[in-house]
Amino acid sequence: MKHNLTESYPIVKNRYEALRARNMRLDISRGKPGPDQLNLVNPMLSILTEDDYLSGSGIDCRNYGGVDGLPEMRQIFAEILDVSASDVIIGGNSSLNLMFDRISDFCTHGVCGGIPWHEQGAVKFICPTPGYDRHFNICQYFHIQMIPIEMTQTGPDMDAAETLAESDPMIKGMWCVPVYSNPTGCVYSDETVKRIARLKPKAPDFRLFWDNAYTVHNFAENRPVIPNILKECTQNGNADMPLVFASFSKISFPGAGVSAIAASENNRKHILSQIGIQTVGPDKLNQLRHIRFFKNADGVMEHMKKAAEIIKPKFDAVLTAMEEELTGLSEWSKPKGGYFIHFRAEENCAKRIVDLCGQAGLIITEAGAVYPYKRDPKDRDLRIAPTYAQVDELKSAMEIFCAAVKLSYVEKMESINIATKN
Amino acid sequence: MKHNLTESYPIVKNRYEALRARNMRLDISRGKPGPDQLNLVNPMLSILTEDDYLSGSGIDCRNYGGVDGLPEMRQIFAEILDVSASDVIIGGNSSLNLMFDRISDFCTHGVCGGIPWHEQGAVKFICPTPGYDRHFNICQYFHIQMIPIEMTQTGPDMDAAETLAESDPMIKGMWCVPVYSNPTGCVYSDETVKRIARLKPKAPDFRLFWDNAYTVHNFAENRPVIPNILKECTQNGNADMPLVFASFSKISFPGAGVSAIAASENNRKHILSQIGIQTVGPDKLNQLRHIRFFKNADGVMEHMKKAAEIIKPKFDAVLTAMEEELTGLSEWSKPKGGYFIHFRAEENCAKRIVDLCGQAGLIITEAGAVYPYKRDPKDRDLRIAPTYAQVDELKSAMEIFCAAVKLSYVEKMESINIATKN
């Protein structure tokens, strides 16, 4: 891609310096809900009364036990994920923790009784990129080699995924955020999901890490519905392949949500045998708060509509600014849900843009973060997280961002010109 | 030990059968607080109001972040454990989870940058016995060989501990419950704690798993104070040796407490680097509930006095029954705090007693559970957990227990007599 920026260096530079002089302080680096969105959930803070601690089935949520979670909480996740309540295991406040613990356990104990990954040599994961930095961090922590493949508008490049998974027995997993992917915001197409479900991995202990973090985080007219990965995999003889993760972190409170895994009976059996050693059970009172507040999946959907009314204008503010300032200069995603906008800058400009934003008081996700090992080979992909800031703040932030983009482009052009002259 | 049971087999048998006919159903197998004790904490269920979500330092407890916990929560643990708030990292609802995660991480990543335990061969732990079954389960899960040593009235047999730790580089850790040990209820003497702190382990990556679960769980006149293990170890050049664990599981709600680790700066640095990959942080709203309810360590101590008024009569009911029925026949611990009574039966009788109790509807902790690999070499040690049941239930339970003990003894005597006659 080649931009057609017509403004000259002094004009662009002056504009940037004027913005920098405002001494702004704003962080749009992480996918955090804003206080305005969290306020919607405040009634949950006081939803339990002093004598409200028994679940519908009479479980005293104050005491130990219930490693797999309250039946009603499993039911809510089941409805959201279109699975059975019996497919679901409830976790603590973090689905990232569930993913980390799975990979850790696979390294030390193998997959469902198989050979521990750490005894098998250099384990590899397929990583559609741009992707989620915290997924990549887990792989890196456990010395799992990350093989990037391209994330397209319809999901991972399935030709590449099939070739890798079906030829190399050391490819043990693939990260997927199937709905409103982090950061591109794409929704996997039906065909992509079906091709994933039909994979015939060379490794018998291959697992799909299906992080369905944003399945209800929709601000389009209709919530996208993708094929049910558990059912599709089962129909293709891959019942044990997927591990489906979800959480309330961006539905209720990010610090105090509830997480879950849905998986086959065989997977659940092994997961529970590990969790039963690790803990006496997750926080059932917090599950009860969620049950009382949301009641069921319909309650969750209703709530997410209210959240969308807060989130959509924030995305609109970012997208409008980009459209006004950067049309013809760059490309970016226009998601209908999720938490991020993916911005594709000119090559070799991403780091400089982050740097220029930072100097002007605007913190955006570090360049490279959406790639394994933080290595963006073309130094061009950026992630914008509009949800935490307020709309007026985002407008100011985008003035800086767009000015930084332009400045990085003219700087690059100048240096090319100078190099050409020399 | 030789009992002097004077009652004959038919009398003892009839007594047991009469109790069995009552068809009781009671479980005193686990250290669970009773509903009466939990009721003391019920105001915590509704202690937060809709607009109460900011910590004292202005942190929005609803949102992400705060991997090491709220400052005020760290301060409460610091006061309880006699350390600095900066020594403390807050966890989720389970200190067992913190211990599991430490061992898991040591297996995969080594201790503070050392060689991963799983790459070093057969790692071993010193396990004072009788001890806590869930500790032993973690070791077994990670294939850590457990070396039992004797638990005395003043703590672990330190001659044995020193010999093992100081001679064998594969001895990587030792489990300790220093106050009201599970299950014997002993409190480590000052001399024992100081000898532990002076250990010179052969393994540079030896860690003391100091599970201070019952430090405030006192029902004696005065709370026992033992030397501060972090300070003692630091004074002896062992600053990095101890990992101190504590939790509110048996102070507030077992399903919804708050856990913590206290450790040296070097340990904390490595722990946080792992936790930062695993999660975005523990549940700060639940920390805030604890801060609002208990306020500070004094609040915790006051609360534990109220809990003691509920717990002590339960222990008294068990101890009185044992004294009346079993004096001269067996020995048992008479703890002044904690959650358990340790009963030492005649050799080869523990399994039979559990079996007889079970047949009469009374579930007690399985025989062998207090030993590594569930192997009690003399089949004699049992654990009684009086806290969950009500006093009148405990009286009925102890009728069964004492009858089962006696029946097992006369059965054993009979079989010896028969064997002798043959």
pLDDT digits (tens, 9 = 90+) for A84-131: 999 999 999 999 999 999 999 999 999 999 999 999 999 999 999 999
Q: Is A93 on the interface with B (CB under 8 A)?
A: yes
Q: Given CA atoms A414, A418, A419, A420 in this order, what sign does their dihedral have?
A: positive
User: Who's near B384: CB < 8 A, 6+ residues apart?
Assistant: B28, B318, B340, B341, B342, B343, B364, B365, B401
End-to-end CA distance of chain A: give it in Å, rounded. Answer: 25
Q: What is the dihedral of CA B115, B118, B124, B130, to 10 degrees?
A: 120
Last residue within a domain, chosen from B251, B266, B295: B295
B120 and B218 belong to one structural domain:
yes
Q: Do B285 and A254 make contact, defined as CB atoms within 8 angstroms?
A: no
pLDDT for A4 equals 64
How far does the CA of residue A338 sit from the closest CA of chain B (Å)?
17
Q: Do B256 and A280 make contact, defined as CB atoms within 8 angstroms?
A: no
Omega before B254 within 30 of 0, i.e. cis: no
- Which tens digits make up the pLDDT trace of B207-260? 999 999 999 999 988 899 999 999 999 999 999 999 999 999 999 999 899 999
- Which tens digits make up the pLDDT trace of A264-294? 999 999 999 999 999 999 999 999 999 999 9
pLDDT for A182 equals 95
Backbone angles phi, psi at A142, to 5 degrees: -95, 20
Could you tell me if residue A42 is inside a domain? Answer: no
B339 and B398 belong to one structural domain:
yes
Last residue within a domain, chosen from B262, B278, B295: B295
Q: Do B283 and A283 make contact, defined as CB atoms within 8 angstroms?
A: yes
How far does the CA of residue B353 sit from the closest CA of chain A (Å)?
26
Whole-number mean pLDDT of chain A?
Answer: 96
Bin A66: left if φ > 0, else alpha if -120 < ψ < 50, else beta: left
ipTM of this complex:
0.96
Could you tell me if residue A175 is inside a domain? Answer: yes
For residue B144, the SS3 value is coil
Q: Do A255 and B137 make contact, defined as CB atoms within 8 angstroms?
A: no
Q: How many domains does chain A have?
A: 2
B68 and B130 belong to one structural domain:
yes
Of A241 and B420, more confident: A241
- Residues A158, A188 contacting (CB under 8 angstroms): no
A156 and A221 belong to one structural domain:
yes
For residue A247, the SS3 value is strand
Could you tell me if residue B88 is inside a domain? Answer: yes
How far does the CA of residue B233 sit from the closest CA of chain A (Å)?
28
A223 and A328 belong to one structural domain:
no
What's the maximum distance between 2 C-alpha atoms anywhere in chain B? Answer: 81
Omega before B183 within 30 of 0, i.e. cis: yes
Q: Do A46 and B48 make contact, defined as CB atoms within 8 angstroms?
A: yes
B169 and B187 belong to one structural domain:
yes
CATH of the domain at B287: 3.40.640.10
User: Who's near A51: CB < 8 A, 6+ residues apart?
Assistant: B42
Q: Is B414 on the interface with A (CB under 8 A)?
A: no
Q: Which two tokens stand for residue B197?
A: 């702190």
B267 and B396 belong to one structural domain:
no
**CB within 8 Å of chain B, chain A residues 372-391:** none
Omega before B242 within 30 of 0, i.e. cis: no
How far does the CA of residue A314 sit from the closest CA of chain B (Å)?
18
Last residue within a domain, chosen from A251, A271, A295: A295
Angstrom distance (rounded) from CA A105 to CA A121: 16
- Residues A239, A206 contacting (CB under 8 angstroms): no
pLDDT for B30 equals 87
pLDDT above 50 for A2 = no
Which of B32, B38, B277 to mutate: most A Cβ within 10 Å? Answer: B277
Q: Is B286 on the interface with A (CB under 8 A)?
A: yes
Q: Do A51 and B63 make contact, defined as CB atoms within 8 angstroms?
A: no
B285 and B339 belong to one structural domain:
no
Beta bridge mates, A210: A176, A244
B115 and B20 belong to one structural domain:
no
Query: 């104990």: which residue's tokens?
Result: A109
**CB within 8 Å of chain B, chain A residues 25-64:** 30, 32-33, 35, 38, 41-43, 45-46, 48-53, 60-64
Could you tell me if residue B37 is inside a domain? Answer: no
The residue of chain B with its CA nearest to that of A279 is B97
Pairs of residues, one from chain A and one from chain B, whose beta carbons lie less than 8 Å apart: 176
Nearest to A96 among B254, B278, B282 (CB): B278
Angle between helical axes of B190-197 and B158-167 (0-180°, round to 10): 0
CATH of the domain at B325: 3.90.1150.10
- Which tens digits make up the pLDDT trace of B61-87? 999 999 999 999 999 999 999 999 999
- Which tens digits make up the pLDDT trace of B10-34? 999 999 999 999 999 999 998 899 9
Q: Which two tokens stand for residue A247?
A: 């959480």
The residue of chain B with its CA nearest to that of A138 is B277
**Edge-first strand listing for the sheet containing A381-384:** A331-332, A341-344, A381-384
B322 and B280 belong to one structural domain:
no
**CB within 8 Å of chain A, chain B residues 133-152:** 134, 137-138, 141-142
For A138-144, what is the mean pLDDT? 98
Could you tell me if residue B27 is inside a domain? Answer: yes
Q: Which two tokens stand for residue A374?
A: 């933080």
Q: Do B255 and A63 make contact, defined as CB atoms within 8 angstroms?
A: yes
A278 and A332 belong to one structural domain:
no
User: Who's near B36: CB < 8 A, 6+ residues apart?
Assistant: B310, B390
Could you tell me if residue B39 is inside a domain? Answer: no
The residue of chain A with its CA nearest to that of B141 is A277
Could you tell me if residue A372 is inside a domain? Answer: yes
Nearest to A255 among B30, B43, B64 (CB): B64
pLDDT above 60 for A152 = yes
Q: Do A42 and B50 make contact, defined as CB atoms within 8 angstroms?
A: yes
Angstrom distance (rounded) from CA A41 to CA A20: 36
pLDDT-flagged residues of chain B (< 70): 1-4, 422
Bin B187: left if φ > 0, else alpha if -120 < ψ < 50, else beta: beta
Angle between helical axes of A9-20 and A391-421 (0-180°, round to 10): 140
Angle at B380 between CA B379 and CA B381, to 5 degrees: 110
Angstrom distance (rounded) from CA B385 to CA A281: 19
pLDDT above 80 for A328 = yes
Could you tell me if residue B336 is inside a domain? Answer: yes
B255 and B322 belong to one structural domain:
no
Domain that holds residue A248: 49-295
